């Protein structure tokens, strides 16, 4: 895999996934290091000139009025790291830690932090070497993720624990084994490392890549359901969606049309289908728009100078900011969560339609044997339980905060929590997609004389590669778990794209 070259702009959520999950190496252009050096010079000159600079020659938060003088500035950076090492709980997965490290590197590359170039280089080297701090998961309220980010800074100075080569060990040992050395921090370096929303941004990028893949799988499941129920395909007519150009519904409708495309479309079995089918383009389109909006919010953060204070190199100024505050990012993920919940609810409704009484011309409960056979109907309870969990997580959290630090920090965004619960919703939503795929594939098998479109035929075959047809009652939970694992782990590869490209 070719290295990812950072220029200070143009970083995408896909870049985050490549580094965090695929282990892509990071390289930095000389222009970025030059920019960092110039910002550091402006910062030092402002401090020498007597300017009060937050976190460099003053305390933090409610200690803003405390002066830090002379040689104490470097020592204070260690003190502020130790004083803010307040995170607790289970450590974050390594892929999220890597995403946070890369997100902070991308933000720093945009300029404006005043971070010493050698500290920036040390962070890049640690990421490339696979030295990952053990980062507790609880502590950030979204006014920057500094309490969580202290783990990264402590690792760079050889403190705390780190994961290296699948082993937990002291950071100093991990750095030594990776042939790296702990760094020394100049004034403001500690604050520059931690005063950012890199955990929220990195985790958000990974959640969005998962949402995009789950959306594609949901479109496939919806198309297979339409085949299984003989749904009326006129709902996908382009003219209908041009008449009311709702949020990305034309995009969603086209994707479903492509999946269902064939030479001779079968006749519909009903004039109108239930809303979970008839309104799929509107429901999926709203989700597409929510994903697009969240992508914009994340990629703004990835490519922005969000430091406080901020060094404006061209103007030779150092100014206090609120750029670390991520209200828009939190709102984007709250909105995305609601869009996912709406899409998941429609998927659950289609599952109930498929596995219900048989009014769709299918055997009751999708059981080929009938009688006392339970067929797929017990899974209706599981589907309902999963949907309830999704709906619970869809409740907003971004207003749940208290004033802290003697009222200096009297507003927060709860962005890390908004992102985390959204990621959990995506995982649960994929379970509903697995259930819908299983039920739709069973319905296809039970509908005599049905010929699938090439793309939906490939989707059906992919389901059957992991879940056999139900011929008599058996435990379906393990089958659903197996299919969900395939959907979540990237091994779901129906030959749809090849068919659609022909």
Along the chain (502 residues), what's the average pLDDT of each consecutive run of 10 residues?
94 98 97 93 81 67 62 68 89 98 96 92 98 96 90 96 97 98 91 92 98 97 96 93 92 96 80 94 97 98 89 85 89 98 98 85 91 94 98 93 78 93 98 98 93 96 96 96 94 77 58
- Residue 132, strand partner residues: 163
Burial class (CB in 10 A: 0-12, 13-18, 19+), 471: exposed
**Cα dihedral across residues 441, 443, 449, 450: positive or negative:** negative
Pairing of strands 4-6, 26-28: parallel
Q: What is the CA radius of gyration of the chain?
A: 26
Cβ neighbors of 63 (< 8 A, separation 6 or more) are: none
Spatial separation of the C-alpha atoms in residues 323 and 318, rounded to whole Å: 14
Spatial contact of 493 and 462, defined as CB atoms under 8 Å apart? yes
| Kind plus residue range of the DSSP H or E element containing 138 | strand 136-138
User: pTM value?
Assistant: 0.94
| DSSP letter for each residue of 148-163 | HHHHHHHHHTT-SEEE
Question: On the CB side of 139, how many CA atoms lie within 13 Å of its CA?
Answer: 22
Please name the helix (run of DSSP H) or strand (run of DSSP E) that holds residue 169, with its range, or none. Answer: strand 167-170
User: 185, 157 in Cβ contact below 8 A?
Assistant: yes
CA atoms within 13 A on the CB side of 478: 4
- The CATH architecture that domain 4-196 belongs to is Orthogonal Bundle (1.10)
Distances (CA, A) of 69 to 50, 243, 421: 10, 67, 43
C-alpha separations of 257 from 126, 143, 205, 456 in Å: 47, 44, 29, 11
195: nearest Cα among 56, 298, 348: 56
CB atoms within 10 A of CB 364: 16
Class of domain 203-305+335-501: mainly alpha
From the list 303, 232, 229, the residue with the least C-alpha distance to 267 is 232
Q: What are phi and psi of 52, to 5 degrees?
A: -75, 120
> Where are the alpha helices (H) located in 274-393, listed in sequence order?
275-278, 280-302, 327-355, 379-393
CA dihedral 45, 192, 309, 69 (to 10 degrees): -50
Q: Which residues contact 491 (CB under 8 A, 6 or more apart)?
A: 485
Q: What is the pLDDT of residue 70?
A: 58
* Cα distance between residue 394 and residue 423, in whole Å: 11
The predicted structure's pLDDT at residue 65: 59
pLDDT of residue 54: 66
**Domain layout of the chain by residue ranges:** 4-196, 203-305+335-501
């Amino acid at each position: 895999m070719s290295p990812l070259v950072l220029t200070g702009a143009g970083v995408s959520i896909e870049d985050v996934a490549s580094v965090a999950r695929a282990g892509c190496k990071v390289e930095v252009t000389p222009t970025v290091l030059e920019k960092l050096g110039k910002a550091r010079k402006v910062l030092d000159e402002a401090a020498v000139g007597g300017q009060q600079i937050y976190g460099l020659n003053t305390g933090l938060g409610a200690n803003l009025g405390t002066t830090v003088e002379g040689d104490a500035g470097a020592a204070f950076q260690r003190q502020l790291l130790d004083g803010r090492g307040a995170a607790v709980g289970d450590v974050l997965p390594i892929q999220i830690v890597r995403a946070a490290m890369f997100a902070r590197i991308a933000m720093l590359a945009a300029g404006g932090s005043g971070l010493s170039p050698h500290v920036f280089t040390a962070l890049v080297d640690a990421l490339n070497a696979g030295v990952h701090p053990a980062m507790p998961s609880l502590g950030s309220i979204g006014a920057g993720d500094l309490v969580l980010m202290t783990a990264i800074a402590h690792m760079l100075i050889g403190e705390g624990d780190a994961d290296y080569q699948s082993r937990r060990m002291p950071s100093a040992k991990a750095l030594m084994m990776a042939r790296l050395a702990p760094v020394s921090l100049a004034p403001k370096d500690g604050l520059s490392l931690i005063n950012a929303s890199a955990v929220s941004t990195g985790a958000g990028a990974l959640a969005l890549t998962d949402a995009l893949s789950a959306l594609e799988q949901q479109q496939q499941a919806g198309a297979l359901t339409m085949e299984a129920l003989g749904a009326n395909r006129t709902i996908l007519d382009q003219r209908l969606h041009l008449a009311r150009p709702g949020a990305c519904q034309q995009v969603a409708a086209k994707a479903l049309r492509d999946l269902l495309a064939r030479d001779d479309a079968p006749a519909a079995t009903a004039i109108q289908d239930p809303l979970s089918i008839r309104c799929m383009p509107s429901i999926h389109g709203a989700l597409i728009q929510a994903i697009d909006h969240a992508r914009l919010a994340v990629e703004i953060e990835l490519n922005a100078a969000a430091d406080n204070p901020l060094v404006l190199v061209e103007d030779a100024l150092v100014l206090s900011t609120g750029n670390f505050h991520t209200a828009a990012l939190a709102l984007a993920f709250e909105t995305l969560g609601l869009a996912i919940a709406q899409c998941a609810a429609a998927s659950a409704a289609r599952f109930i339609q498929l596995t219900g009484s048989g009014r769709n011309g299918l055997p009751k409960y999708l059981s080929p044997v009938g009688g006392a056979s339970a067929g797929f109907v017990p899974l209706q309870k599981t589907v309902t339980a999963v949907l309830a969990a999704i709906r619970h997580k869809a409740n907003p959290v971004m207003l749940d905060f208290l004033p802290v630090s003697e009222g200096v920090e009297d507003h927060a965004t709860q962005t890390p929590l908004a992102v985390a619960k959204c990621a959990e919703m995506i995982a649960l939503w994929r379970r509903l997609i697995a259930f819908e795929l299983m039920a739709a594939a069973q319905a296809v098998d039970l509908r005599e004389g049905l010929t699938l479109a090439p793309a939906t035929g490939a989707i059906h075959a992919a389901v059957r590669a992991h879940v056999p047809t139900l011929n008599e009652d058996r435990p379906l939970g393990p089958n659903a778990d197996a299919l969900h694992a395939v959907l979540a782990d990237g091994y779901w590869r129906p030959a749809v794209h090849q068919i659609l490209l022909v």
